[in-house]
Homo-oligomer: A and B are copies of this chain.
């Protein structure tokens, strides 16, 4: 037997809400967010399930941070400033691990990323389940003075950009599963870390508000997510694989034939920003990316029509059915 629900809230979660606006010390029926003066409140929910989105063997700290960061990535995609979040936690048998240390580790993970991203807990619910652990976070961001970024604003002639490097998390998952051979331990650790711990591009998203015509985060794989963006905008998109930014590790695996275009453009969990901007904004995009301290690469262009195409290094079309990747 561990602590009861109320004692757990007192010990582990109340400290996380100590400086949050409107949290009412987690002691009331609801939080009261002081939204006066805000034009728009950006709200997103992401849920992670044990065995589907993480493994109970992952440390509780990492699971907590991944849950927060996938949500932060949604705010980044909207160009919103992270503010506060609600946590819904269903606690299961934890493969027999004692519950209170696990929750302590989970809360410690939240604390680290609260500092990192200047956010605070305002409330939530904690329930027990006979099944897998589930973490659902609803995150709140402030709309900035230049409005929000959506998926639906891309027009023919726009450039397509992506931040950071693509494919590392999917390769990290393959490494974890043991289906990627011939990796040095350092390379493997780097890729696995990219899978475990997304880097939500919050500063970049905020810097692009007012400049980008459309944006989203890459969670289902570059090709599929570009298809989502193009569909929402009513346009077509083409990217050139040779311009897709790769880490040194992914580049070497590709050169050695150990990773494929499909692994990189069809994998998921990148949590980079995919966005479009008019050609006239090229200098501005470069400047804003520099201000945000986040590298971005121009990888293709938007055209009239519908659908998405990817050209490989030799300029050949990559069959798209091989790039579809869905996690429900």
Interfacial residues, chain A to chain B (CB-CB below 8 A) = 4-5, 22, 24, 27-36, 38-49, 51-53, 74-75, 77-78, 80, 86-90, 92, 122-132, 134, 136, 138, 140-141, 143, 148, 150-152, 216-217, 232, 326, 328
Cβ contact of A122, chosen from B39, B43, B131, cutoff 8 A: B43
Q: Shortest distance in angstroms between A197's beta carbon and chain B's nearest beta carbon?
A: 20
The residue in A48, A78, A125 that gathers the most chain B C-beta atoms within 10 A of its C-beta is A125
Cα A217 to Cα B29 in complex, Å, equals: 8
**A43-B29 contact given A129-B49, A131-B92, A328-B5, CB 8 Å threshold:** no
Q: Provide the residues of chain B in CB contact with A39, threshold 8 Å.
A: 34-36
Q: Shortest distance in angstroms between A43's beta carbon and chain B's nearest beta carbon?
A: 5
Q: Shortest distance in angstroms between A323's beta carbon and chain B's nearest beta carbon?
A: 16
Q: Provide the residues of chain B in CB contact with A40, threshold 8 Å.
A: 22, 32-36
Q: Provide the residues of chain B in CB contact with A42, threshold 8 Å.
A: 30-33
Q: Provide the residues of chain B in CB contact with A47, threshold 8 Å.
A: 88-90, 125, 127, 136
Q: Can you list 8 contacts pairing A with B, beta carbon distance less than 8 Å? A: A4-B328, A24-B150, A32-B78, A35-B35, A43-B140, A45-B86, A49-B127, A136-B136
Cα A185 to Cα B35 in complex, Å, equals: 50
**A78-B217 contact given A22-B40, A136-B125, CB 8 Å threshold:** no
Cα A30 to Cα B180 in complex, Å, equals: 34
Cβ contact of A138, chosen from B36, B77, B86, cutoff 8 A: B86
B49 touches A123 (CB 8 A): no
Q: Shortest distance in angstroms between A104's beta carbon and chain B's nearest beta carbon?
A: 17
The residue in A22, A74, A126, A136 that gathers the most chain B C-beta atoms within 10 A of its C-beta is A136
**Lowest 4 CB-CB distances: which A-B pairs, in order?**
A131-B131, A30-B44, A29-B77, A88-B136
Q: Shortest distance in angstroms between A282's beta carbon and chain B's nearest beta carbon?
A: 24
A32: nearest residue on chain B (CB-CB)?
B40
Cα A78 to Cα B30 in complex, Å, equals: 7
Q: Shortest distance in angstroms between A199's beta carbon and chain B's nearest beta carbon?
A: 16
The residue in A32, A33, A130, A217 that gathers the most chain B C-beta atoms within 10 A of its C-beta is A32
Cα A295 to Cα B124 in complex, Å, equals: 30
Q: Provide the residues of chain B in CB contact with A143, threshold 8 Å.
A: 32
Cβ contact of A129, chosen from B5, B43, B74, B131, cutoff 8 A: B131
